[in-house]
């Protein structure tokens, strides 16, 4: 079975299908990393496409000093950071809570069980809100680990921080997210109980 390295080499030599295989390999992780970073489906689509086009144009510069995944996500990460900076300069503030991402669009397909759709909708909302409530550096490292699927050392290389800092920051990110989820659920439960009392 061909390896990722062989696809990279073939793509460098202009093999379109090999490049498409690499895109297939990474599209889900890149798209959701960008989506959860920027929290807007249209921006996520633009920046994800730009990421892959940049990968395509710069393939010959990739010499394998880092893992290919680290290289791909460093491009996605830098494009996200630039995008956020530009938005801030224009006075536009990220992020809005995204409750209309493609996970939800896919779920509108009538073949899905309505109960499962509702549950998934709640999960997407919860995780999005919790991610939106934590500090940006914690959100960033959580996404690199859990969505991009990078290893600790890859994250350390990408963010140019110590391995020990990666480990402690990921733990803090998880802990902050768990607390946010807990708060969100408590608030929803107390809202529901107030509604019942008012009736």
Partner 1 sequence: MPACEEYLELISRYVDNDLSADEAEALFEHLAHCPGCSEALSSFDELRMMTRETTNDVPEQLRRGVMASVDAAKRRPFYAR
* Binding region for partner 1 (CB under 8 A): 14, 16, 19-20, 23-24, 27-29, 31-32, 36, 45, 48-49, 52-53, 56, 102-103, 105-106, 120, 123-124, 126-127, 145-147, 152, 167-168, 170-172, 174-175, 177-178, 181-182
Minimal distance in Å, beta carbon 101 to partner 1? Answer: 8
Tokens encoding 60: 């010959």
CB 142 within 8 A of CB 159: no
9's CB contacts (< 8 A; 6+ apart) are none
Nearest approach in angstroms of CB 88 to partner 1 is 26
- Closest separation in Å from C-beta 52 to partner 1: 4
Output 45 or 91, the one with its CB closest to partner 1. Answer: 45
CA 35 to chain centre: 5
Return the CA Rg of the chain: 19
Q: What are the contacts of 45-48 at 24+ separation with CB within 8 A?
A: 47/76, 47/79, 47/80, 47/83, 48/76
Q: Provide the minimum distance between the beta carbon of 196 and partner 1 in the complex, in angstroms, as a whole number.
A: 27
Nearer to partner 1, 175 or 187 (CB): 175
């Amino acid at each position: 079975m061909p390896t990722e390295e062989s696809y990279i080499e073939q793509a460098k030599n202009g093999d379109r299908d090999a490049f498409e295989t690499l895109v297939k390999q990474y599209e889900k992780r890149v798209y959701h990393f960008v989506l959860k970073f920027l929290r807007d489906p249209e921006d996520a689509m633009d920046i994800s496409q730009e990421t892959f086009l940049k990968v395509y144009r710069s393939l010959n510069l990739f010499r394998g000093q880092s893992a290919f995944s680290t290289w791909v996500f460093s491009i996605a990460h830098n494009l996200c950071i630039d995008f956020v900076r530009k938005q801030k300069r224009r006075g536009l503030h990220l992020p809005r809570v995204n409750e209309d991402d493609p996970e939800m669009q896919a779920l509108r397909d009538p073949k899905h069980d309505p109960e499962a759709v509702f549950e998934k909708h709640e999960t997407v909302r919860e995780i999005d809100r919790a991610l939106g409530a934590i500090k940006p550096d914690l959100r960033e490292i959580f996404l690199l680990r859990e969505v991009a699927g990078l290893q600790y050392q890859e994250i350390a290389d990408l963010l140019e921080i110590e391995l020990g800092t990666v480990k402690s920051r990921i733990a803090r990110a998880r802990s902050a997210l768990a607390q946010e989820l807990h708060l969100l659920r408590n608030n929803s439960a107390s809202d529901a109980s107030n509604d019942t009392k008012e009736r």
